């Protein structure tokens, strides 16, 4: 009598994945797929890798049309992406082209498949631009406070304080923080001189005006909760990201 080998279910599923591109009937999810939002110029991009930058996404989505302004990638208190982004095109057709392409073959970034949808009206930030002030928020600078002061050495006399953010769990220093200057003019000069500068590490330094604390502590939008990577820790810097301000004793309590 011949004994028939029984293939474990998990093993069979893996084998089937190599033998067919069409899912078996029992593999279909019982959850209905959420309808897409109505087409618009702005895309919501989910499942964004934690180490992704706006430049990474810019390179991917520029293939589909003209991008208006900067790709918005909210940054968490740990200096990493919060798991989602917004990309705005000059026309709806470009956004539709990106969504159509991703439906046929997923767009990949750092080992992840990006999830695309048209942004809902309430998912797009309506915050007013940050007003110039004497405090700046920096990110993508991993060398530490001493190296940052050396980079800003020509403005050393105008630096009132430097606060480097730290991991809330380990206490390890992060690649982002705040610098408080003696005046708005100095902060403006530093932003113009150093924002976007490529560092020896290959990273691109980002410096922008710090957003007032009362704006940074506003609740997250619906789209941010969908991103799957948001962490509570305060609000964003000038670019709209979020970070913690624990331990930062500004000279102005509004920040």
The predicted pLDDT at position 145 comes to: 93
Cβ pair 159, 149 in contact under 8 A = yes
pTM of model > 0.75: no
**Does residue 127 register a pLDDT over 60?**
no
**Does residue 89 register a pLDDT over 70?**
yes
Cβ pair 74, 220 in contact under 8 A = no
Q: Which residue has the higher pLDDT, 174 or 101?
A: 101
Lowest model confidence (mean pLDDT) among 35-39, 109-113, 120-124, 194-198: 120-124
As a whole number, mean pLDDT of residues 148-161 equals 96
The 10 Å CB-count burial string (b at 16+, else e) for 133-163 is bbbbbbbbbeeeeeebeebbeebeebbeeeb
The number of residues in the chain equals 255
Lowest model confidence (mean pLDDT) among 77-86, 214-223, 233-242: 233-242
The predicted pLDDT at position 236 comes to: 38
The predicted pLDDT at position 30 comes to: 41
> What confidence tier does 103 reach under pLDDT thresholds 50, 70, 90?
very high
**Does residue 141 register a pLDDT over 80?**
yes
The predicted pLDDT at position 99 comes to: 95
Share of the chain above pLDDT 90, in %: 35
Q: What is the DSSP string of 84-101?
A: EEEEEBSSHHHHHHHHHH
Angle at 147 between CA 215 and CA 83, to 5 degrees: 40
- CA pseudo-torsion sign 141, 146, 151, 154: positive
Select from 80, 85, 83, 76 the least CA-distant residue to 54: 85
Domains and CATH numbers, the chain: 42-120 (3.30.70.330), 135-210 (3.30.70.330)
């Amino acid at each position: 009598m011949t004994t028939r080998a029984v293939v474990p279910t998990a093993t069979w599923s893996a084998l089937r994945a190599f033998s067919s591109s069409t899912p078996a009937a029992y593999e279909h999810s019982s959850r209905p797929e959420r309808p897409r939002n109505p087409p618009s110029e702005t895309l919501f991009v989910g499942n964004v890798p934690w180490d992704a930058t706006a430049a990474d996404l810019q390179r991917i989505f520029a293939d589909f049309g003209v991008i208006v302004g900067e790709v918005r990638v909210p940054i968490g208190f740990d200096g990493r992406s919060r798991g989602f982004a917004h990309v705005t095109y000059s026309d709806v057709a470009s956004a539709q082209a990106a969504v159509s392409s991703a439906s046929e073959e997923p767009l990949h970034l750092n080992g992840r498949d990006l999830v695309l949808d048209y942004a809902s009206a309430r998912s797009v930030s309506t915050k007013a631009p940050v007003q110039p002030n004497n405090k700046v928020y920096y990110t993508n600078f991993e060398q530490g406070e001493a190296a940052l002061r050396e980079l800003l050495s020509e403005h050393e006399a105008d630096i009132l304080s430097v606060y480097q953010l730290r991991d809330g769990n380990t206490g390890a220093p992060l690649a982002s923080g705040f610098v408080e200057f003696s005046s708005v003019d100095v902060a403006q000069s530093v932003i113009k001189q150093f924002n976007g500068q490529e560092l020896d590490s290959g990273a691109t330094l980002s410096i922008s005006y710090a957003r007032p604390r009362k704006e940074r502590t506003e609740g997250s939008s619906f789209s941010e909760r969908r991103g799957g990577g948001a962490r509570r820790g305060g609000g964003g810097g000038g670019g709209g990201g979020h970070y913690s301000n624990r331990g930062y004793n500004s000279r102005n309590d509004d920040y």
